[in-house]
Structure 1
């Protein structure tokens, strides 16, 4: 089958090939993914290309086409590689296990800042790492050892709600942009002047202006979302 026949397909539909030596070294798809993830972590997703990954591996870009056909397929490998990093869900009950999923997802986003943006790409199929990731969630939340446990049809709702919150938090400029500058005098002055100069009475009524912009509100927000999940599935807020 020629390379062109795979061009618009998922990497998971492309038959895996036996590693072929390039410059005396044989590489696997996982090697390509690991190199690309390291590159994106270091320099950003926008710099990832077949040529750059090949250069980091010390081979020619053409050598990569033995394993993949397009950059989109490389991104699929990268996303699946990161999914495979997430720790198994932990906790003694459904709420603590959902909390674990939320916190671990945020850790992945922080470890790989490009990852949340790569997830927004349409079309790619879930790979083995992502499927194992989902399987872990389903098993953890439908475990007969926890009471109450979630019905299988409720797992997607619960996990999807938690991950939507985490994704929104990760993409929120107030947490992704302003937080690193907490306490910077120019930021404080800008916020103060903007609020006072524009008569923003609502913000004036809030004690601790900078605190409102820079406080890490993830844990409290996550608990509110968990209360909502409990109310939807079991009735009441829970704890």
Structure 2
């Protein structure tokens, strides 16, 4: 069975470069990342290009190559810029801390819809802000001052499980599409017709529970995840 090998041409492996000047003012790697994030927030990740970001900064596209070699490296900077916005978790115990991590992660996805598609791309590496957030999580969840706390061997399982749930929740179109159906009678009629004409009696039996398909149930879902982790970790 063959394995796929990644070639790491990560921006974090490039030599550190000093800030360059444009229009009499120095612009930094963080300026580059912030500008690219603003473009993606407004128009989507596909619209992020060297030329577009350079235009927003008021410089030539060639100037960007002082900091990045490719768009993928630019996306790495963007991802780390979003991680830099995230807050350290707060809470008196591991459940509260994990809830804080989950809620903050969802806020990042909602503030930057492109972020879910930019994570974990082949050949990329975690940047300093992402590593700092992970360090925050480990320190908080294993802090001897909280009760109860997690053992270090359980941190990866716990945080990974919560973040996978949040990622799936953020990618689920239901929360962006189903919720406003009441304002679109033609969509509502389409769903009714599909259920009736295809004999989808299971869905039809839930006709009186419409809110189950439309309300934001993030907190309920996260509670189920945390309940499962409690059983798995503490028995």
Q: Distance in 2 between matches of 1:150 and 1:18?
A: 41
Note the alpha carbon deviations across 1:55-99, whole angstroms, 9 max, x for none. 000110001111111111100000000001111101111101101
Q: Report the alpha carbon displacement of residue 8 of structure 1 after superposing the two structures with TM.
A: 5.8
**TM-score of the two chains, using structure 2 as the length reference:** 0.93
> Secondary structure of 1:226's partner?
helix
Q: Which residue of 2 is the match for residue 140 of structure 1?
A: 140
> What is the correspondence of 1:177-196 to structure 2 with a 5 Å cutoff?
177-196=177-196
> What is the correspondence of 1:10-159 to structure 2 with a 5 Å cutoff?
10-159=10-159
Structure 1 contact 191–210 (Cα < 8 Å) conserved: no
Root-mean-square deviation over aligned CA pairs: 1.5
Q: Distance in 1 between matches of 2:35 and 2:208?
A: 44
Are 1:168 and 2:171 matched, yes or no? Answer: no
Q: Which residue of 1 is the match for residue 4 of structure 2?
A: none
Q: Distance in 2 between matches of 1:31 and 1:54?
A: 11
Q: Which residue of 2 is the match for residue 4 of structure 1?
A: none
> Secondary structure of 1:148's partner?
coil
Structure 1 contact 37–78 (Cα < 8 Å) conserved: yes
Structure 2 runs not aligned, ≥5 long? 1-6
Q: Distance in 1 between matches of 2:8 and 2:96?
A: 41
Q: Report the alpha carbon displacement of residue 209 of structure 1 after superposing the two structures with TM.
A: 5.5
Q: Report the alpha carbon displacement of residue 175 of structure 1 after superposing the two structures with TM.
A: 2.0
Q: Distance in 2 between matches of 1:152 and 1:210?
A: 42
Q: Which residue of 2 is the match for residue 232 of structure 1?
A: 232
Structure 1 contact 182–210 (Cα < 8 Å) conserved: no
Structure 2 contact 8–123 (Cα < 8 Å) conserved: no
Q: Which piece of structure 1 moves more, 189-198 or 173-182?
A: 173-182
Q: 1:52 to 1:143 in 2, by over 3 A?
A: same
| Count of residue pairs the alignment pairs up | 229
Note the alpha carbon deviations across 1:25-65, whole angstroms, 9 max, x for none. 21110000000000000000000000000000011000111
Note the alpha carbon deviations across 1:190-236, whole angstroms, 9 max, x for none. 1111111211100111143642322212111100000000000001x
Structure 1 contact 10–125 (Cα < 8 Å) conserved: yes
Q: Distance in 1 between matches of 2:70 and 2:93?
A: 43
Structure 1 runs not aligned, ≥5 long? 1-6
Q: Distance in 2 between matches of 1:120 and 1:180?
A: 32
